[in-house]
Amino acid sequence: MSAADAALMEASLVAVADAGIDIRLPLFERFFAAYPARRPSFISVDAASRRMTDETLQMMFGLAGGEAWVWPLVAELVFTHRSYGALPIGEYDAFIDMTVAELGVAAGDAWNAETAAAWARSAAALKTMIRKARAEWAEAMPAGAPQLAE
């Protein structure tokens, strides 16, 4: 991850914004198609899809830029998500991968191998950070930590 990655990622975000494409609804349809049992966990898909999509993109973009605010945001995300049950780590991975995939579809001609590689590096870093947050909550606060379903 680097300033070059951040620039490529920003260019694709701007292209999608300029095209007026909102990726969150196809993203959530893709997620629910893969994990249909999760749909009832959402009280408001409209409200949650805005924040989940935005924050997933923000975390990845922030990681590419070496932003220090990403870690506390990820730690909070993992803790608040304990309310939604024992979320397997594979669902976090899938949501991140699907977010990048939907962005790529929406970016059209603004998407290329370099851009995809930049997003993939940040996606991998976010997945690693979520694992670290889950492990640290489990160690620091075993009784209240998110359940570590695999």
56 near ligand HEM, rule: CB under 6 A? yes
If one asks whether residue 81 binds ligand HEM (CB under 6 A), the answer comes out as: yes
The answer to whether residue 91 forms part of the interface with ligand HEM (CB under 6 A) is yes
Q: How far is the CB of 146 from ligand HEM (least distance, A)?
A: 11
Alpha-carbon distance 40 to 102, whole Å? 22
End-to-end CA distance of the chain: 28
In this chain, which stretch among 13-21, 51-59, 62-70, 105-113 interacts with ligand HEM, using CB under 6 A? 51-59
**What whole-number distance in Å separates Cα of residue 61 and Cα of residue 55?**
10
Question: Is 32 or 138 the residue whose CB approaches ligand HEM more closely?
Answer: 32
Contact window for ligand HEM (CB under 6 A) among 10-18, 41-49, 101-109, 139-147: 41-49
Long-range contacts: 12-18, Cβ < 8 Å, 24+?
A: 12/103, 12/104, 12/107, 12/110, 12/111, 12/115, 12/119, 13/57, 13/61, 13/103, 15/107, 15/108, 15/109, 15/110, 16/103, 16/106, 16/107, 16/110
Q: Does 95 bind ligand HEM (CB under 6 A)?
A: yes
Q: Which of 70, 96, 110, 123 binds ligand HEM (CB under 6 A)?
A: 96
Nearest CA to 1 among 52, 78, 59, 73? 59
| Shortest Å distance, C-beta 53 to ligand HEM | 8
Pick between residue 69 and residue 84 the one whose CB is nearest to ligand HEM.
84
**Residue 55 in the binding site for ligand HEM (CB under 6 A):** yes
